[in-house]
Amino acid sequence: MANMNTKSGLGKTSGVASVRALDGGIRGGPVCRQSWQARWTADILRVSAKVSLRAAARTRADTGRALLVIRRMADFAAPLFQRLPPHAQVVPADCDGVSGEWVRAGTGLDESKVVLIFHGGGYFSLSAAAVRPLTWRLSEAARRPVLAIDYALAPENDLPAARADALTTYRWLLADGFRPEDITLAGDSTGGHLALATLLAVRDEGLPLPAAVVAVSPWADLTPDGPRHRGNAGTDAFFPPRFLPWLARCYTRGCDPSDPLISPVNGDYAGTPPMMLVCSDAEALRDDARRVAERARDAGVRVRYDEWPGQVHDFPAFAGLIPEGRQAIIRIGAFLLETDSVGGSAS
């Protein structure tokens, strides 16, 4: 990977940080130590999101109602993240019945390319608009439009409904004239899960494969054994230990949780396009990201894996607050530009 010490408001650093990369051991990265903004964000999440999620996981009442309560809390905070800078713009999108928004930032964008991105939120909350701190910066860094969609959410819908919306949008892009080699699938947190599941579904259905896949802090293992593989389950600043197993049980009733479309950590990635995974070494989902990266690499996929020190879960989504999140997005944009330049074989 090229050295990308791009200015991003990180301030002074002493030395060079460690950003893990599967294909080359430890590589120098742009961050040396956890910023005060990252520490502050982690502290806020511990007394807000983590407390709320802990209460939900302990509920013995209707799980659907618990999810709706958390959704209302997330929706209350979401408008704080939806503002755009003057050089960014949003246009509503109707993707064959799936709503969303086109996000463009910067100049000289390549309109023949697109990042199709799926937002996080546990599959029960948030929206395309809620991840604008990520989407407009990604458009600027990757020099192309970003299409964020509002896929079907729980508890009103199940996981296959969200995947169906993702596939509908992918087909719509192909029908609209985008070449598959000009489409990137991306997502953060549960959106990362959806990006990986959509990739596998695209391949299984015989559709042409996209150019690349980017998954930020993906939730990739929904099996009952998933918690055994998570070394940071007790220390994550966002997720309490019981929450992810509880949420997985909510979504896997009546289905096989080991199905790769439900747990992409079990996927066969042979023949799939270059992949970039980004996570924190301090989050509960680090091992989900690491296992997907290792599985894809072992299947012959060109994988870039960035493991950032001391960050919160899905820190690029907090790019408006955390300078490391901004730098991570710059690195994702560079990965996509590099993938373009070598025809889908980024190294």
Catalytic annotation, pick one of 101, 125, 140, 283: 283
345 is catalytic: no
CA distance 191 to 264: 12
Q: What is the pLDDT of residue 20?
A: 53
Q: What is the pLDDT of residue 228?
A: 87
Q: How many Cα atoms sit within 13 Å of 87 on the Cβ side?
A: 8
Both tokens of 276, joined, read 């970039």
Task: Delimit the domains of the chain by residue range.
Answer: 22-341
Catalytic annotation, pick one of 8, 127, 189, 263: 189
338 is catalytic: no
In our burial notation (b when 16+ CB lie closer than 10 A, e otherwise), range 160-191 reads eebbbbbbbbbebbbeeebebbbbbbbbbbbb
Q: What is the pLDDT of residue 61?
A: 59
CA distance 135 to 329: 9
For domain 22-341, the CATH architecture is 3-Layer(aba) Sandwich (3.40)
Q: What is the pLDDT of residue 341?
A: 87
User: How much is the average pLDDT of 147-174?
Assistant: 96
Q: What is the pLDDT of residue 115?
A: 98
What pTM, to 2 d.p., does this model score? 0.89
> Tell me: the pLDDT tens digits for 233-273?
888 999 998 899 999 999 998 899 999 999 999 999 999 99
229 is catalytic: no
User: Does the pLDDT of residue 289 top 70, yes or no?
Assistant: yes
CA distance 56 to 71: 11
Q: E-assigned strands of the chain?
A: 17-21, 25-29, 88-95, 98-105, 114-118, 146-149, 183-188, 212-216, 275-280, 303-308
Q: Residue 160, SS3? A: helix
